[in-house]
Chains A and B, each alone.
Chain A
Amino acid sequence: MSTSTLDRPTPTQPDRKPPSHRSAATPLRYLAALAIVAVTVVPLLFVILGGFKTNADINANPAGLPKSWVLSNYTKILRSSSFWHFVVNSLVIAVIATVLAVGLGSMAAFALSRYAFRGREFIYTLFTIGLLFPLTVATLPVYLMLRKFHLLENMLGVAIPEAAFSLPVTIIILRPFMMAIPAELEDAAVMDGSTKLGFFTRILLPLSRPALVTVGVLAFITSWNGYLLPLLVFNEQQNFTLPLGVATFQSQFSQDTAGILAFTALSMIPALVFFIFAERKIVGGLTGSIKG
């Protein structure tokens, strides 16, 4: 029985405890951090450094630093037109898909959030069902439809379906955001002689900017990283997007490992740069849209 008094925490104990635990866990914490950095960064470094090696150097010594730094792998790709074709194609498609998804999505979200009409919830539910139709699953019938519309080998043939499949997420994120904007603002705008559509373009859209950026970033990344739809739609190499181009380059020049690594390294740059600038939006958008 005497031990019970010993075990009972004295008032000072709780104050002392958390810091002591923190310090005990710290080495483990840094070890985990180190492991994460190593596992994440080493493969990326391997690719970037590999691009500076000769093929013989890679075969002899795939893991280490280049014996002599060779720039030709990179310069060859940067001088070739195909790499830039891929980048521009990806960019054009992603921009069209993003503009379509955000433009049409925000219009629909406006109608579904600030008008009362019959069938409103039905239409909204219809869009949310779209979340269960991922593009990967539907690609084959989408391809058949694009063929019917003569949209194969056409950038719109990729951009339009990508926009259509981005609409559900766009509307699901935008609608509650637009709903939360106080009705007083709308009343005031109407009082000042604005039409409802004027309120939408001049007040609601500017106020919705954070949400618009989030859905825009999501739509852009989805399109930029897309592989399957471009694979089916494009046959001509000059139309390829970057993911398709990387994969094709890999299979066409499978002997030229250094070239492949340089090509891959250069292809990573746009995504990584974009990510560094938009990290908070991307992370916020992903965690926010999931929790929403």
Chain B
Amino acid sequence: MTSTRTVSQPKASIAQVAGKVPVRPPRRGTSSRTKLELLLLLAPALALFVLFVLAPMVAAIYYSFYHWTGFGPLNDFVGLDNYRKALSDPIFQGAIWHNVLIAVLSLVVQLPLSLGLALLLNGRIHGRALLRTLVFAPYVLSEAITAVLWLSILQPGGAVDKMLAGVGLKGLTHEWLADRGIVLYTLFAVITWKYIGFGIILFLAGLQGVPPELKEAAAIDGATSWQTTRRVVIPLLGPTVRIWAFLSIIGALQLFDLIWIMTLGGPAGSSATMATYLIDRGFRRYQFGYGSAVTVILFTICFVFALLYQRFALRRDTQGAITRRAGA
């Protein structure tokens, strides 16, 4: 910033570069040509968005008040019956509980694991680039491929069982996907395998934003490296942790592909999630009115969670977070 050439009007250009007022106020008002341009630019995206994102949700609310198999006219109005039925169905209650359990397990297991691994990988280490690539690879695979992959590994007498037997832990082998008490934890392990790399990458990016001066200052004040990590680095990662937790919980609430392919929500609903329940009842059993009610419930849960989280957890991050860097 040593140039003196722009002295003539520095304030205006700074404001424009900062992006606060990038648009020159139109001199001639909104001319008909500008209106036409706006229509041309905005209409296609808006039409697509309203038609395929907003309208279906509104339609779902409407369908949810009817008993409807998806064929013929909508004439069997049942009021709130579908909602009452869904909320009192033990399988749906179980499904909600499974979603919550997976969300809680993610926070309790994946957060310390990915944070710890990110802290370890943040230091100097040979082959760091390769390590990052490898750690991220499962995240790139689709949930469908991940599901089929683990289905093969976990089948009775498959690789996992043989490996356990090989190291003398035959007693630990289970029917990983058929035992009602275990299936959900097996699925959680697979989910962790797939998504842990995402957390690690996110935290590594966050760690890059921790100013080294702070760590040096702590060291000069006599803090051990553990104390520095615990009292300086981790608190500074707060915004990243909160974003990760948000994505993780929203993801847990919407879990479908992986579970549908591996267990269809079974056995006997013991691994059902809200989304698998929704597709099972709504689509496979042609209960479109009922399925729409479940859609609305699922959407409401996600929506309320997102709003509350924004309000109470993410709000703090808008106020001067040190780790936030421009262009990161």
Contacts and interface: CB of A to CB of B under 8 A. Distances in A.
A165 B142 contact: no
B52 A161 contact: yes
For A127, A143, A161, A287, the residue with the greatest tally of chain B CB atoms inside 10 Å of its CB is A287
Contacts of B26: 115-116
B93 interface: no
Contacts, number: 302
A33 B200 CA distance: 12
Contacts of A111: 37-38, 41-42
A1 interface: no
B77 interface: no
Interface stretch (B84-92, B98-106, B120-128, B175-183): B120-128
Interface string B290-301: 011001001100
A32 interface: yes
A123 B38 CA distance: 12
For A29, A44, A112, the residue with the greatest tally of chain B CB atoms inside 10 Å of its CB is A29
B185 interface: no
Contacts of A132: 302-303, 306
B117 A36 contact: yes
A114 B142 contact: no
B193 A39 contact: yes
B45 A140 contact: no
Contact of B298 (A30, A50, A137): A137
B117 A32 contact: yes
Contacts of A26: 123, 125
Interface in A270-284: 271-272, 274-276, 279, 282-283
Interface of B: 13, 16-17, 19, 22-26, 30, 34, 37-38, 40-42, 44-46, 48-49, 51-57, 59-60, 63, 70, 116-117, 120-121, 123-125, 127, 131-138, 140-145, 147-153, 155, 157-159, 162-163, 166, 193, 197-198, 201-202, 205, 216, 219-220, 222, 224-225, 239-240, 243, 247, 250, 254, 256-257, 260-261, 275, 278-279, 282-283, 288, 291-292, 295, 298-299, 302-303, 306, 324, 328
30 contacts: A14-B216, A17-B219, A18-B219, A18-B225, A25-B120, A25-B225, A26-B125, A32-B121, A36-B117, A40-B197, A50-B152, A62-B158, A63-B162, A117-B30, A136-B256, A137-B298, A140-B292, A141-B295, A145-B59, A164-B48, A165-B53, A183-B16, A186-B24, A187-B24, A197-B37, A225-B142, A246-B148, A276-B133, A282-B140, A286-B198
Interface of A: 9, 14, 17-18, 21-22, 25-26, 28-30, 32-33, 36-37, 39-41, 43-44, 46-47, 50, 59, 61-63, 100, 104-105, 107-108, 110-117, 123, 126-127, 130, 132-134, 136-145, 160-161, 163-165, 167-168, 171, 176, 179-184, 186-187, 196-197, 221, 224-228, 231-232, 242-244, 246-247, 249-250, 257, 260-261, 264, 267-268, 271-272, 274-276, 279, 282-283, 286-288, 290-291
